[in-house]
Amino acid sequence: MSETREILEQSIEDHQAAIDKAKRKLEGLETTYSRGDRFKNEDGKYLLVYVKGVTLVNLKTGHWEGNPIHVGNANSITQKKFDEICGSETYTRYWDSQRKELTK
């Protein structure tokens, strides 16, 4: 019985290692946004900021676009949360603040 238990425990460890590796790869594939990212649309350019939550600020006028949205981590905003921030508007990221590079 002990040998069977050891084989099963090893199998679980091997499978868990594979699951953990797959999760890390998936996280790398998911698009995330962070405060400091810059966006544009037909109305102008915007900065993603944290002010009582995360929102987009028009760089020319200083106006907030909508109400701030609460997120778990302002440096790893999911696409779903970003869509909440954007509402019905469409924004294109042109500066990724984490990678320090132009994106489009």
Whether residue 36 sits in one domain with residue 22 = no
Residue whose tokens read 């915007």: 46
Whether residue 40 sits in one domain with residue 13 = no
Task: State residue 28's pLDDT score.
Answer: 62
Whether residue 60 sits in one domain with residue 15 = no
Rounded Cα distance, 43 and 48, in Å: 15
Listed in sequence order, the residues at least 6 apart from 29 whose beta carbon sits closer than 8 Å to its beta carbon are: none
Q: On the CB side of 87, how many CA atoms lie within 13 Å of its CA? A: 10
Helices of type H across the chain: 2-29, 79-86
Task: State residue 71's pLDDT score.
Answer: 93
Arithmetic mean of pLDDT, 59-73: 92
Arithmetic mean of pLDDT, 5-30: 80
Whether 22 has a pLDDT exceeding 80, the answer reads no
Whether residue 72 sits in one domain with residue 39 = yes
Domain that holds residue 17: 1-30
> Is residue 58 packed enough to be buried (19+ CB in 10 Å), middle (13-18) or exposed (0-12)?
middle
Mean pLDDT for the chain?
88
- Percent over 70 (pLDDT), the chain: 94
The total domain count for the chain is 2
Whether residue 92 sits in one domain with residue 54 = yes
